[in-house]
Amino acid sequence: DIVMTQAPLSVSVTPGESASISCRSSKSLLHSNGITYVYWYLQKPGKSPQLLIYRMSNLASGVPDRFSGSGSETDFTLKISRVEAEDVGIYYCGQLLENPWTFGGGTKLELK
């Protein structure tokens, strides 16, 4: 199985500042079709995970453009510019290149 490793475990951010979350996969997530199958989710307290970024760098519908995704074949970054109170929650990266889907352990974002 592909192992997804996230860092840090938690991050505390002042509103208006930016935050970055890293994710590393144990295998390249770049398919031969040129698509990198890494996804980012935010789970707000008491809610199910919601999609933020798909295929490494594509913003999901309705997601503010303060969120952006980037990376290479095995190293990925989610950046949140101008953090707001509504961004609080747990962020997960996940790979959908092959079964079984696997997810990182999560990064908890809190406000200072």
Partner 1 sequence: EVQLVETGGGLVQPGKSLKLTCATSGFTFSNAWMDWVRQSPEKQLEWVAQIKDKSNNYATYYAESVKGRFTISRDDSKSSVYLQMNSLKEEDTAIYYCTWGYPYWGQGVMVTVSS
User: 3-state DSSP helix/strand/coil percent for the chain, to nearest 5?
Assistant: 5, 50, 50
- Applying CB under 8 A, among 32, 86, 100, 112 the residue interacting with partner 1 is 100
What does the DSSP assignment read for 29-74?
-B-TTS-B-EEEEEE-TTS--EEEEETTTEEPTT--TTEEEEE-SS
Does position 102 interact with partner 1 (CB under 8 A)? The reply is yes
- Site residues for partner 1, window 35-64 (CB under 8 A)? 39, 43, 47-51, 54, 60
Q: Among residues 11 and 51, whose Cβ is nearest to partner 1?
A: 51
Query: Which residues of this protein are in contact with partner 1, per CB under 8 A?
Result: 39, 43, 47-51, 54, 60, 90, 92, 94, 96, 99-103, 105-106
